[in-house]
Amino acid sequence: MEIIKINCNSCGAGLQIPDKVEFFNCSFCGSQLKMVKSAGAQFTEVVGELVEHTEAISQNTNIIQLEKAIERLDRDWERRKEQLGLEEHDGSNRQVAITIMGGVASLAFIIFWINGASSMSSHFDDPMAKVFPLFGVAMLVIVLINMLSTPQKLSSFQKAKQQYEEKRRELLTELQQARRE
Ligand SMILES: [Zn+2]
């Protein structure tokens, strides 16, 4: 068995390695080395560092993917809020109260309008005078439909918001883990 004098390709230390051995560790820096024989010359190639490097790259890819997943989730949520027509709402009880109060104020105004318009129209024989109270009734119907659909809309909004926040928390936890590794 022949002993080869060779240098570590990582730290430069002189090593003595049996010529049949292909993989070994540097006794000085611990690098995983590979014996390379090429055109009558022998030298070492670092294997260990290469492996760590590859692991670091795949770890980074994982982090980037998680960050992208969170961005995508946020974008989807913004779009979903627009679809629900409640983008300015946060789904809180305060928002629900404001919505109901707004509806009640609208109703009060419309009833006041119908009342005034019908007492005015009773003084005119022109059938056009009936348009004003009828306009008020149409408004009343629209506001009522809107008010009645609000609790349903808000509850599906809150459900969607909950799902979004849960998913986001999961992704963030994964991301924090990936960054710590
Ligand atoms: Zn070494």
Q: Residue 114: name the closest of 132, 92, 141 by CA.
A: 132
Answer for the pair 25, 31: CB distance below 8 angstroms, yes or no.
yes
Q: How far apart are CA 157 and CA 173, in angstroms?
A: 24
CA of 42 to the centre of ligand 1 (A): 16
Assigned architecture for domain 3-51: Single Sheet (2.20)
The residue ranges of every structural domain in the chain are: 3-51, 85-180
CA of 40 to the centre of ligand 1 (A): 22
CA of 15 to the centre of ligand 1 (A): 9
Q: Are strands 3-7 and 14-18 parallel, antiparallel or unpaired?
A: antiparallel
CA of 25 to the centre of ligand 1 (A): 8
Q: How far apart are CA 121 and CA 32, in angstroms?
A: 98
CA of 13 to the centre of ligand 1 (A): 5
The number of beta carbons lying within 10 Å of the beta carbon of residue 142 is 12
CA of 45 to the centre of ligand 1 (A): 11
CA of 129 to the centre of ligand 1 (A): 100
Written as tens digits, the pLDDT of the chain (181 aa) is: 788 899 998 889 999 988 888 898 888 888 889 988 887 788 888 887 655 666 677 778 888 899 999 999 999 998 888 877 665 556 566 777 777 788 889 889 988 988 888 888 777 777 777 788 888 888 889 888 887 887 777 788 888 889 999 999 999 999 998 888 7
Which residues are CB-neighbours of 181 under 8 A, at least 6 positions away? 59
Q: What angle separates helix 48-84 from helix 131-180, to the nearest 10 degrees?
A: 170
